[in-house]
Amino acid sequence: MQPDDAAAEQMVRLGEELRRRHGLKGRLTPAPRLHLSLNFVGSFRGPPTRSVMEKAAALADKVSARAFAVTLNQVESWKGDPHPLVLTGDEGVIGVQLLHAAIHKALVAGTMAPRREPEIWPHVSLLWDKAEAPKEFVEPISWMAREFVLLDSPYGEGRHEVLGRWPLDG
């Protein structure tokens, strides 16, 4: 799911502020690439096959969920090399978790996901850095989630391609 333009710009400004404040050197994620991952469809050595993407899209067509507000209000570095600096939320991600569950149910029905629903930690990655930043509360960044998207993210290419969009009800 992608934040609206205003929220994406707030995230970029927050990333810039955190870079300065914590002496981070990592490159900021550009506003058009900012997203909150919901469900994982698979890893592929090359581009996913057309049939895989068509099947995922057909299953996404079956997902029914209402639009909801997303609010992210904390940042922290997660483990990794380099460490992702992520923007997370507390009560502001309940709708994200419900949408994740609805998509997972559709993927299970289409045999594209294991029956057991994986735990998710809704987040937006602002940048990656060798140094870590402390966990802290920040001014909340909110937007209305009115759609979800299917993204292809070719490993190591630093880009995302939107393969499909699905509106949320109401």
pLDDT in tens, 11-47: 999 999 999 999 999 999 999 999 998 877 765 566 6
What pLDDT score was predicted for residue 120? 86
Q: What is the pTM of this model?
A: 0.88
pLDDT tens digits for range 71-123: 999 999 999 999 999 999 999 999 999 999 999 999 999 887 778 877 889 99
CATH at residue 146: 3.90.1140.10
Determine which helix (DSSP H) or strand (DSSP E) holds 8, and give its type and residue range: helix 5-22
Strands 161-167, 147-152: pairing kind? antiparallel
Q: Write out the residue range of the structural domain in which residue 77 sits.
A: 5-167
Q: Starting from the edge strand earliest in sequence, which strands make up the sheet with 136-145, in order?
A: 123-129, 83-88, 68-77, 136-145
The answer, yes or no, to whether residue 156 has pLDDT greater than 80, is: no
How many domains does the structure of the chain reveal? 1
